[in-house]
Amino acid sequence: MGSVFSKLWALGPAAFVVKVIVAAVVADGLLLGFILLRRTYRRHYFAKRDRRVFEFRQKWDKLISGEIPYDAWRLDNFDRQIVEDIALDAFEAAGPAESARLLRFMRTTGLIEKRIFEARKYRGWQRMTALVALGRTRAPEGIAALAEGLRDANHETRHAALRGLARTASPQAAEEILTWIGERGLQAPPLLIQNALINCCRESPRMLLPYLQHADRQVREMLARVLGEIPVNSIEGALIALADDDLPELRAAAARALSNADHGQAVEALSELAEDSVWFVRLRAVVALGKIFDPRAVRPLLRALTDANRLVRMRAAEGLVDRKSDMASIFAEAVAAKDRYGLYAYFAALENAGLRKQLEAELQARAVHGDSNATELLAVLASGELRKAPAAGQLLAPDHEAMAPK
């Protein structure tokens, strides 16, 4: 009786097909066995983890306070990872007092030092994981290790370090980011750097000024956008200087930031920026003027109502309509400008704000008292078209002085 191999050899070319089929069946069986083994292991792993999480949750206060000895869980990698994950998750919803308590716990147990060590010594995904965990703690002592991560060759590691620094919301973190930018340029997405600096520079926007003056164009434009997003009450003079900068992006950022500055200094600078040669600079200035409820802001807004750019006209109209206390006088000035596109923008803003009836009531009240200009303005309001415009200032005698620039 011949062997199996001799019989296969007798099959000739068909033997090769049989061998391939057998190999495929064996490979499929091994793959299926691996999948089943892996699923079994993961099922047991997650069941074990769920039990331990439940146990730790039941005695969490005692664990945090130290009533349960730290050595009871810290020497076991599985338990230590669970405790750290619970603590980091708790940071996300904790108030100031609870955050301080959790941070003290992580310092006492050495979890922060462990992550700092890993962030400095490890590479690849291990370093990135350590940087993410370190950032979630918001610990000031982790800023130096996070700053070292900014100089990693891997872009994902740099992004993790940058997000970690953003979470600290610390001026010290902002200094590290600005130093890194000064050394290496923009080695991460500008929006990511911008968001990190917005979080970290709120307490001290002045630290941006040296980099705004001496960095290259791309960095200056990004920093200008940061400046436009944070309170700048302490640097109004620097913002007014930026309003004369050669870069349109910086002038636009200065206009946006001036809406949060002292109104006494801001209105004059914004009035000049509202006549800038670049449309988006004018747009930012007009938006800022619309937020400043100062009588001196009305005149530049009225000029912007006749701007060549539609967006500038629309935002100027919105800023004028928001001044509900002087609607009739402002409407008279808008009609006297004899610009139909500006008037259309004003009508659109009036409808969007739902204030048409209020303006109509004010004009009717003036018409009842014998004001002929009010009657003509009512006709313009009803038709939505320019007719014979009243002379500018006739209806405005009581309020003209308040709106004149000083």
Average pLDDT for 287-316 = 87
**pLDDT tops 70 at residue 113:** yes
The domain spans of the chain are 299-406
The confidence score (pLDDT) of residue 39 equals 93
Q: Residues 266-285: pLDDT tens digits?
A: 788 888 888 888 898 889 88
Q: Are 294 and 263 in contact (CB under 8 A)?
A: yes
Q: Of 92-96, 115-119, 300-304, which range is least confident?
A: 92-96
Q: What is the pLDDT of residue 395?
A: 43
Q: Could you tell me the pTM of the whole model?
A: 0.68
pLDDT at 1 over 60: no
State which H helix or E strand residue 319 sits in: helix 310-321
- CA-to-CA distance for 67 and 76, rounded, in angstroms? 18
Euclidean distance between CA atoms 393 and 299, whole angstroms: 13
Q: Cα separations (Å) of 177 from 112, 226, 310? A: 21, 13, 39
Report the C-alpha gap between 30 and 41 in whole angstroms: 16
Across the range 245-250, mean pLDDT stands at: 79
DSSP secondary-structure letter at 308? S
| Distance between first and last Cα of the chain | 117
118 has pLDDT over 70: yes
Three-state secondary structure string covering 29-74: HHHHHHHHHHHHHHHHHHHHHHHHHHHHHHCHHHHHHCCCCCHHHH
Report the mean per-residue pLDDT for the chain. Answer: 81
* 8-state DSSP, 322: T
Collapse the DSSP code of 80 into the 3-class scheme (helix H, G, I; strand E, B; otherwise coil) and give the result.
Answer: helix
* Distance of alpha carbon 19 from alpha carbon 41, whole angstroms: 33
The predicted structure's pLDDT at residue 32: 92
